[in-house]
Chains A and B, each alone.
Chain A
Amino acid sequence: MAHFTKATSIKDWLNQRLAIETVERVMMSEYWIPKNINFLWAMGMVLVITFALLLVSGIFLLMYYQPHVDTAFYSVNYTIMREVDFGWLWRHVHGVAASVVFLIIYIHMFTGIYYGSYKKGREMIWVSGMLLFVAFSAEAFSGYMLPWGQMSYWAGMVITNLFSGGSLHADGLVEWIRGDYVPAQAFLTRFFMLHVLLIPLAIIGLIGLHFGALRIPHVNNQDGEEIDFDKEAKKYLAGDKAGSKVMRFANDFMSKDMMVVGIYLIFFFYLVFWNYGFAMDAVNFDPADGLKTPAHIYPEWYFLWSYEILRPFSVDIGLVAFGFAQVIFVLLPWLDRSPNTVPANRRGLFAIWFWVMLINLIVLTAMGKLPPEGMFSQIGFVSAIVFIVQWLMLPFITMFEKKV
C-alpha cells in the first residue's frame, strides 16, 4: 500500500503524489540526444512552437469569428481586423503561421529523407509524421474556408468536387460532404467544427504518437551511427561528459534548440509585422459569390506541387496521379530497399534521387502557380511524370546500392 509521509516541501508533497522527479528524469534530464547533430534537428521544436502560436492566436480569433455565411466575411475583415484591439495581430499570426508551418514541415521531412531517419526502427516516426502532414493539410484547408471570401468558396467547391472521383460522378458523396448542392451554411459550419475541434484533437493525438515513436529508436544523428544509448548514458552519468556520444534533452539539447527557435521567431515576427501579404490572398478579400468565378483558382503555395500533379492530365488520370502523390511518401521506409542509414550524399544513386526529387518539387510548385498555358503546362507535365517515375524507380536503385 502506498505510504505517505509529512511533506518537507511543496516539491516533496508533489513528488509523493505525482512522482514529478521521475517524470522530469524520464522526459527531460535522462532523455538522451546524440551530440552529432546540427540545426536541422531543431525543426521539431520549431514546429511545436509554431503549433502553439496557431493555437493561441486561434483561441483569440474564435472569440469574434462568426461561422455564418452572411456574417463570416465581415466578422473577419471588419470586426477582427478593425474593431478588436490587436485583432489584426491574431489574424496575421494565424495566417503567417499556417503558411510557415508547412515550410518547416517540408524542411523537417526532407531532413528525415536525407539522413535516412525513417529506417531501422524509425518507421513509425516517419508514418506518424506523414499522418501529421495529412492532418495539417486538412486543418489548413478547413481554416481557409472560414473567412468565406471568393477563394474560400471556390477552393471549397473545387476540392470537394475531387471526391466525385472524375468519371465515377459520385455527386451524392460530394453533396454529403457539403451538406448541400454547393458550399453553403451547412458546409461552413461543419468545416468550422473540423477546424476548431476535431482536426486539432487529431493533431494533438498524433503529436503524442510522433513523440512516443521517437522514444525507443531515439533521435538519428548526422552519420546515421547506431549508438548504444544505455552505454553512452552510463558514461555521461559517470562523469565522462566529453567522451559520451549523448547529452541530456534538457537543459543541454533544449538550450541549443531554443536558440534556433529564437532566430526563427525573429524571422517569423518580421513576416507577421512587415510581410504578411504572402499569406493573405488578394482574391479572398472579395466576399464569396457562387455566381462569379475568380479567373484563376489556385491553392496556397504548400499545396501547389500536388495540384500541379493533378492538373496536366485528363480528369481520371489526374485524380489517380494526385492520389498517388498523396500516399506515396508514407511508403518511403518500404520503397527504400537499402539497409544503409547514412546521409544521402554517401549513397550513390540515392543522392541524385534525393536532389532531383527536391528540385522537381520546387519546379512543380512554381508551375502550379502559373496559368496552365504553353510552355508552363509542358514543363508541369514533364515534372509530374518525373515525380511518378522517380517513386517507381526508388526500390530498384536502392536494391542495388552498395553497403557502406
Chain B
Amino acid sequence: MENNSRRGFMGKAFGAVAAVGAIGSLFAMKKSWDPLPSVRSAGFTTLDLSVYKENELITEKWRGKPIFVLKKTADMVASQTESQKARDIEVNGSHYMIAIGLCTHLGCIPAYNASNKGFLCACHGGQFDFAGDVTKVPPPRGFDIPPFKIEGNTLVLGEAGPEYTKMKESGVTL
C-alpha cells in the first residue's frame, strides 16, 4: 500500500517533469519554424517614386511577390470613379496605382496593356482596370494593396501608414 502510493507519487512527479519538458520542447519547435530575423527584415522594400513614368507599368518585388506600380496620367486621374479613387495613392501631387500583382482568383500575374489601360489575366480571363478594380470575373476582388507608408517622395512597403490603415478599415483591400 505504502509502495503503491510512493509509486503513484513518483509517477505523478515524472509526469509533471515530462509535461514541463514537452511544453518547452513544443514551444522551441514552434519558434524554430518561424521566419528568421533576416527573412523578416528583408520584408521591407522602399520605392523611390520620382523615377516612374506615366502609364508605364513597372513590376517591383516585395516579399517575393510582384508589386505593380503605375503612375496615372492626368486623364486617368480626372476620369476616376469613387471606387477607383478609394484605391488611389497620392504622393507629392502624383497619383499611383500600387498593388500586389497577383490575380485574386488563383494568383497568376496579369499583363498590362497601356493602350486600353487595363490588365488581362491569361489564366482564366479576369480583367482589371488601371486603378486595380475588377472589370471582368472570375477574380472575386480588385488587386490586394500591400501595407505601405508614405515618407516624403518614397514609399515603404511592409509598414502600415495611416493611408493604408484607412484603406484596410474601409475594406478597399484585405
- Is B35 within 8 A of A293, CB to CB? no
Given contacts A291-B59, A291-B66, A297 and B106 within 8 Å (CB-CB): yes
- Is A182 within 8 A of B63, CB to CB? yes
The answer to the question of A169 belonging to the interface, with a C-beta cut-off of 8 Å to chain B, is: yes
The answer to the question of B107 belonging to the interface, with a C-beta cut-off of 8 Å to chain A, is: yes
Contacts of A295 in B (CB 8 A): 108, 122-123
- Is B34 within 8 A of A179, CB to CB? yes
Interface string of A138-163 (1 = CB under 8 A from B): 00000000000000000001100100
8 A Cβ contacts from B95-109 to A: 106-109
- Is A179 within 8 A of B35, CB to CB? yes
Which residues of A does B touch, CB under 8 Å? 157-158, 161, 169, 175-184, 186, 190, 290-293, 295-297, 314-315, 372-373
The answer to the question of B33 belonging to the interface, with a C-beta cut-off of 8 Å to chain A, is: yes
Contacts of A314 in B (CB 8 A): 140
Interface string of B13-44 (1 = CB under 8 A from A): 00000000000000000100111100100010
Contacts of A157 in B (CB 8 A): 107
- Is B123 within 8 A of A181, CB to CB? no
28 A-B pairs whose Cβ atoms sit less than 8 Å apart in the complex: A158-B106, A158-B107, A169-B174, A176-B35, A177-B33, A178-B35, A179-B36, A179-B39, A180-B35, A180-B39, A181-B35, A181-B43, A181-B63, A181-B64, A181-B65, A182-B63, A183-B64, A184-B39, A290-B64, A291-B59, A291-B61, A291-B109, A293-B109, A293-B123, A295-B108, A297-B106, A315-B140, A373-B124
- Is A296 within 8 A of B123, CB to CB? yes
A292–B66 Cα distance when bound, in Å, is 9
Which residues of B does A touch, CB under 8 Å? 30, 33-36, 39, 43, 59, 61, 63-66, 106-109, 122-124, 140, 174
A182–B61 Cα distance when bound, in Å, is 12
Known contacts A293-B108, A295-B122; 11 additional CB pairs below 8 A are A157-B107, A176-B30, A179-B33, A179-B39, A181-B39, A182-B63, A183-B64, A290-B65, A291-B59, A295-B123, A315-B140
Q: How far is the CB of A130 from chain B (nearest CB, A)?
A: 26
Given contacts A176-B34, A293-B123, A295-B122, A186 and B108 within 8 Å (CB-CB): no
Q: How far is the CB of A300 from chain B (nearest CB, A)?
A: 18
In the complex formed, the residue of A with least CB distance to B30 is A176
Contacts of B122 in A (CB 8 A): 295
Q: How far is the CB of B146 from chain A (nearest CB, A)?
A: 10
- Is B65 within 8 A of A182, CB to CB? yes
Contacts of B66 in A (CB 8 A): 290-291
In the complex formed, the residue of B with least CB distance to A175 is B35
Contacts of B59 in A (CB 8 A): 291
A291–B68 Cα distance when bound, in Å, is 12
Q: How far is the CB of B134 from chain A (nearest CB, A)?
A: 15
In the complex formed, the residue of A with least CB distance to B43 is A181
A177, A186, A190, A315 pick with most chain B CB within 10 angstroms? A186
- Is A186 within 8 A of B65, CB to CB? no
A297–B107 Cα distance when bound, in Å, is 10
- Is B64 within 8 A of A184, CB to CB? yes
A354–B122 Cα distance when bound, in Å, is 40
Q: How far is the CB of A83 from chain B (nearest CB, A)?
A: 31
In the complex formed, the residue of B with least CB distance to A179 is B35
In the complex formed, the residue of A with least CB distance to B125 is A373
Q: How far is the CB of A15 from chain B (nearest CB, A)?
A: 38
Q: How far is the CB of B163 from chain A (nearest CB, A)?
A: 21
For the complex of A and B, list the 9 residue pairs with the smallest distance between their C-beta atoms, beginning with the closest. Answer: A182-B64, A181-B63, A293-B108, A290-B64, A291-B66, A180-B39, A179-B35, A293-B109, A180-B35
A292–B64 Cα distance when bound, in Å, is 11
Contacts of A372 in B (CB 8 A): 124
In the complex formed, the residue of B with least CB distance to A184 is B64
Contacts of B43 in A (CB 8 A): 181
Q: How far is the CB of A269 from chain B (nearest CB, A)?
A: 38
Contacts of B39 in A (CB 8 A): 179-181, 184, 186
Contacts of A169 in B (CB 8 A): 174
